[in-house]
């Protein structure tokens, strides 16, 4: 941990930002919260914080952008509603905006607090106390109405919902994703239980990878043949080894940790949690992957090529990383479940440059069809709380060479997506 980080203090009179559940969290046990539309925050783990501050340049395109650190406090309002509030650290002021200087190091791309009031800041002129109180009362009423149903949802491993196509699909996700609400409630409970001893936590700010998608379809894959870190207790290591041995992790180096899919054809939302993912056979894993890319009517084949390309690029990058071990890390695959209409493009030079590799078929003739946004699928590594590397001076175990378990999982994933593509006639 750097001296600069240890020296950070909280600005005592700063305005706070009300944190909300991140409704697209489909896996993991650490609570992820929504800071604003393009930024998320999660509890700071020193090892993960160190990873983001020192990660190799060629890995940046495969990880969320790191945006800095805030202090988060557990608070109760006048109606005893529980909430989490983010505050700037000492030396920062106001709300947050992105400082992006692409010619500088990643630390220059952090968030800074400004006096701009365009974000949701508590108790400012644009969000008076009465408005905040009324907003929380409405949310509390919704919460009570869904409480009994939610208790049942938490115990279910695979869920389907029929959504109102005429309404805003993305807003309906707020009431349907049981995993994100479970993580949020657990975080509130932990902080409430510790409130007498501690009520100030540091959270890191990260890019919201789902913000550019209207209806994000998210697949969370636990990567590698080993999940426990070098610092794990014997009991923890044994538990993680058992989970790997009883799942596809031991066989193919990857297992499903969570999934959220909008099937436009059937008008259904599907959620799958990690407990179901652990039970899948290799064939079941392949079927789950097929289901993830299926819209209820047909397979979204135009997504497979871009996914394969990014997986192959990531594998090549990791093969060049010396000493890294990404234990218990996940890989996210994200695309938009809201499909765009196809557009016809003249096959002249300028138009063909804009076509994805999958659409620009030489045999397409005078015209080629390109679904708008079809190739905007994202592949990113997340969760580095147990990552280790030679440069982490406090680690007693130093590994040599590549992370063979993670790379094995990537190759398995590439092979399975390739099989799906070939079998579907891509």
In sequence order, the 6+-apart residues with CB closer than 8 A to the CB of 86 are 16, 17, 19, 35, 41, 70, 71, 72, 203
pLDDT digits (tens, 9 = 90+) for 27-77: 887 889 999 999 999 999 999 999 999 999 999 999 999 999 999 988 877
pLDDT band at 300 (very low <50, low <70, confident <90, very high): very high
Q: In a 3-state reduction of DSSP, which class is residue 344?
A: strand
pLDDT of residue 247: 96
The better pLDDT of the pair 36, 154 is held by 36
CA distance linking residue 318 with residue 381, whole number of Å: 11
Neighbours of 28 (CB within 10 A): 21
SS3 assignment, position 293: coil
pTM: 0.77
Q: At 377, list the tokens.
A: 């699928």
Asked if 156 contacts 178 with a C-beta cutoff of 8 angstroms, the reply is: yes
- Among 27, 109, 84, smallest CA distance to 273 is for 27
- Parallel, antiparallel or unpaired: strands 95-98 and 111-114: antiparallel
Long-range contacts of residues 144-149, Cβ cutoff 8 Å, at least 24 apart:
146/175
DSSP state of 5: H
Question: What 3-state DSSP class applies to 350?
Answer: helix
Question: What is the mean predicted confidence (pLDDT) over 271-297?
Answer: 95
Confidence of residue 378 (pLDDT cuts 50, 70, 90): very high
What's the CA gap between 48 and 55, in Å, rounded?
A: 10
Beta strand 254-263 pairing with 268-273: antiparallel
Q: Taking the domains of the chain in order of start, what are their residue ranges?
A: 17-91+156-338+373-423
Q: Which residues of 150-173 are buried (b: 16+ CB within 10 A; e: fewer)?
A: eeebeeeeebebebeeeeebbebb
* Predicted pLDDT of residue 105: 37
Write out the H or E segment, with its range, that includes residue 215: none
* Residue 388 burial by Cβ neighbours in a 10 Å radius (0-12, 13-18, 19+): buried
Which CATH number fits the domain 17-91+156-338+373-423, given the four candidates 3.50.50.60, 3.30.470.160, 1.10.3720.10, 1.25.40.10?
Answer: 3.30.470.160
pLDDT band at 249 (very low <50, low <70, confident <90, very high): very high
Given a cut of 80, whether residue 295 has pLDDT beyond it is: yes
pLDDT at 331 over 80: yes
pLDDT-derived band at 228 (thresholds 50, 70, 90) equals: very high
């Amino acid at each position: 941990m750097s001296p600069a980080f240890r020296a950070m203090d909280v600005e005592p009179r700063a305005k706070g930002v009300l944190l909300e559940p991140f409704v697209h969290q489909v896996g993991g046990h650490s609570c992820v919260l929504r800071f604003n539309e393009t930024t998320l925050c999660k509890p700071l783990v020193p090892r993960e914080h160190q990873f983001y501050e020192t990660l190799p340049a060629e890995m940046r395109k495969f990880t969320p952008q790191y945006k800095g650190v805030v202090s988060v406090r557990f608070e109760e309002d006048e109606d005893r509603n529980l909430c989490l509030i983010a505050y700037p650290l000492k030396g920062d002021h106001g709300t947050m905006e992105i400082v992006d200087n692409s010619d500088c190091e990643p630390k220059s791309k952090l968030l800074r607090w400004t006096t701009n009031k365009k974000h949701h800041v508590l108790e400012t002129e644009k969000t008076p106390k009465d408005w905040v109180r009324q907003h929380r009362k409405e949310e509390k009423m919704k919460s009570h109405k869904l409480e009994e149903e939610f208790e049942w949802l938490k115990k279910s491993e695979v869920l389907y919902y029929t959504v109102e196509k005429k309404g805003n699909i993305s807003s309906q996700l707020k009431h349907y994703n049981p995993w994100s609400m479970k993580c949020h409630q657990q975080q509130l409970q932990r902080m409430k239980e510790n409130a007498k001893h501690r009520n100030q936590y540091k959270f890191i700010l990260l890019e919201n990878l789902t913000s550019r998608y209207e209806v994000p379809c998210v697949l969370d894959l636990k990567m590698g043949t080993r999940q426990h870190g070098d610092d794990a207790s014997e009991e923890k290591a044994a538990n993680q080894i058992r989970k790997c041995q009883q799942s596809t992790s031991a066989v193919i180096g990857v297992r499903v940790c969570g999934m959220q899919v909008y099937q436009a054809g059937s008008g259904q939302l599907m959620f799958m949690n990690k407990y179901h993912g652990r039970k899948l056979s290799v064939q079941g894993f392949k079927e789950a992957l097929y289901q993830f890319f299926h819209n209820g009517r047909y397979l979204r084949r135009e997504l497979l090529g871009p996914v394969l390309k990014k997986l192959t690029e990531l594998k090549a990058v990791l093969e060049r990383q010396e000493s890294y071990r990404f234990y218990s890390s996940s890989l996210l695959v994200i695309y938009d479940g809201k499909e765009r209409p196809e557009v016809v493009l003249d096959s002249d030079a300028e138009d063909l440059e804009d076509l994805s590799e999958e659409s620009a078929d030489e045999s397409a003739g005078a015209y080629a069809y390109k679904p708008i946004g079809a190739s905007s699928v994202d592949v990113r590594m997340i969760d580095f709380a147990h990552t280790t590397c030679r440069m982490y001076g406090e680690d007693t175990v130093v590994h040599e060479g590549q992370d063979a378990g993670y790379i094995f999982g990537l190759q398995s994933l590439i092979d399975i997506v390739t099989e799906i593509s070939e079998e579907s006639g891509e």
